[in-house]
Amino acid sequence: MEILVLVKRVPATDSQIKIAADGKSYDAQGVEFVLNPYDEFAVEEALKTKEARGGTVTVMTLGTSAAQKDLRTCLAMGADKAILLTCEDHPDSAAVASVLAEKSKELAPDLIFCGKQAVDDDAGQVGPRVATLLGFACATDVNSLEIGDDTFAATRDIEGGRETIEGKLPAVITCQKGLNEPRYPNLKGIMAAKKKPLDEAAATPPDNKVEVVALEPPAERPAPSILGEGAAAVTTLIDKLQNEAKVL
């Protein structure tokens, strides 16, 4: 089974993000980057699928050459090879999907895994777009998966319940928390990773269809106030909950 994993390098979720002077991008200075957390589930699921059914796991990203580090981590976890498509611009979701889908065709995968979204822009578009461009089945936000010879059964949480869908391979599966517990790269895997192929090629994404025009930090929370102490504060507290917060 030919398995492909699409990953992205993103700022760590607890990074202090500063908006750059242009007001529409963030300042990468001093920001720590990590493998997108949802992509860790994708890598793990790909490895588990390979262990159960055999095959090859290729991990691919579009990004700067700094993403080598994250691809090496995927190789250390057990992926067989990695492809880094380099690009210095900021392609939009459509452009990213276009580049990744084009390269995917060469690999003719049976299964493509990716995170349900990247935690930097939270767009969640690349997986479904790649599926569309390739004409693959697609299951999003999957938290339980079974793979047959040429079929899949994916379970996903929906409002108020769980939904199970079945489909034919090839397919794109976007991975949600709960799907698995990503493994730690073990020491043998890390030592083996440096001998595994990591191919790098320049990519030329198509023009963006959308542009980010403004990036703002979330509104600052109002300063907390202390209403008083003990029983004396209860009346004021109830009044605030009823008339200001309107939760009672």
Partner 1 sequence: MGMARYKGVDLYDVDGLLSEEERMVRDSVRDWVEDRFLPIVTEHHRAGTFPAHLVPELGELGLLGATLEGYGAAGLNNVAYGLVLQELERGDSGLRSFVSVQGALCMYPIARYGTEEQKERFLPSMVKGEVIGCFGLTEPDYGSNPGGMTTRAVEDGDAWVLNGTKRWITNGSTSHVAVVWAKLDDEVRGFLVEAGTPGYTTMDIENKFSLRVSVTSELIFEDCRIPKENILPKAEGLKGPLSCLTQARYGIAWGGVGAAQAIYDEVLEYAKTRVQFSRPIAGYQLVQNKLVWMLTEITKAQLVCVQLGRQKDAGTMHHAQVSLAKRNNIWMALKSARMGRDILGASGITDEYHCGRHMCNLESVSTYEGTHDIHTLILGDHITGIPAYE
- Which of 17, 162, 194, 227 binds partner 1 (CB under 8 A)? It is 194
Only segment of 20-28, 46-54, 72-80, 127-135 that touches partner 1 (CB under 8 A): 72-80
160: amino acid identity, one letter = G
176 belongs to the binding site for partner 1 (CB under 8 A): no
- Which of 24, 165, 169, 182 binds partner 1 (CB under 8 A)? It is 182
Angstrom distance (rounded) from CA 141 to CA 157: 8
Using CB under 8 A as the binding rule, the residues of this chain from 42 to 61 that contact partner 1 are none
Residue 11 CB partners (closer than 8 Å, separation 6+)? 17, 26, 28, 31, 32, 33, 34, 120
32 belongs to the binding site for partner 1 (CB under 8 A): yes
- Which of 49, 58, 61, 73 binds partner 1 (CB under 8 A)? It is 73
CB closer to partner 1, 66 vs 248: 66
15 belongs to the binding site for partner 1 (CB under 8 A): yes
Angstrom distance (rounded) from CA 17 to CA 30: 9
Angstrom distance (rounded) from CA 120 to CA 93: 12
Q: 3-state SS of 2-23?
A: EEEEEECEEECCCCCCEECCCC
226 belongs to the binding site for partner 1 (CB under 8 A): no
CB of 2 to partner 1, least distance (A): 27
| Pair of tokens at residue 76 | 């250390």
Using CB under 8 A as the binding rule, the residues of this chain from 104 to 123 that contact partner 1 are 119
122: amino acid identity, one letter = D
36 belongs to the binding site for partner 1 (CB under 8 A): yes
Angstrom distance (rounded) from CA 115 to CA 42: 6
C-alpha distances in angstroms, 158 versus 116, 130, 141? 14, 23, 9
198 belongs to the binding site for partner 1 (CB under 8 A): no
Angstrom distance (rounded) from CA 142 to CA 163: 10
184 belongs to the binding site for partner 1 (CB under 8 A): yes
190 belongs to the binding site for partner 1 (CB under 8 A): yes
34 belongs to the binding site for partner 1 (CB under 8 A): yes
164 belongs to the binding site for partner 1 (CB under 8 A): no
**Applying CB under 8 A, which residues contact partner 1?**
10, 12-15, 32, 34-37, 40, 69, 72-73, 76, 119, 182, 184-191, 193-194
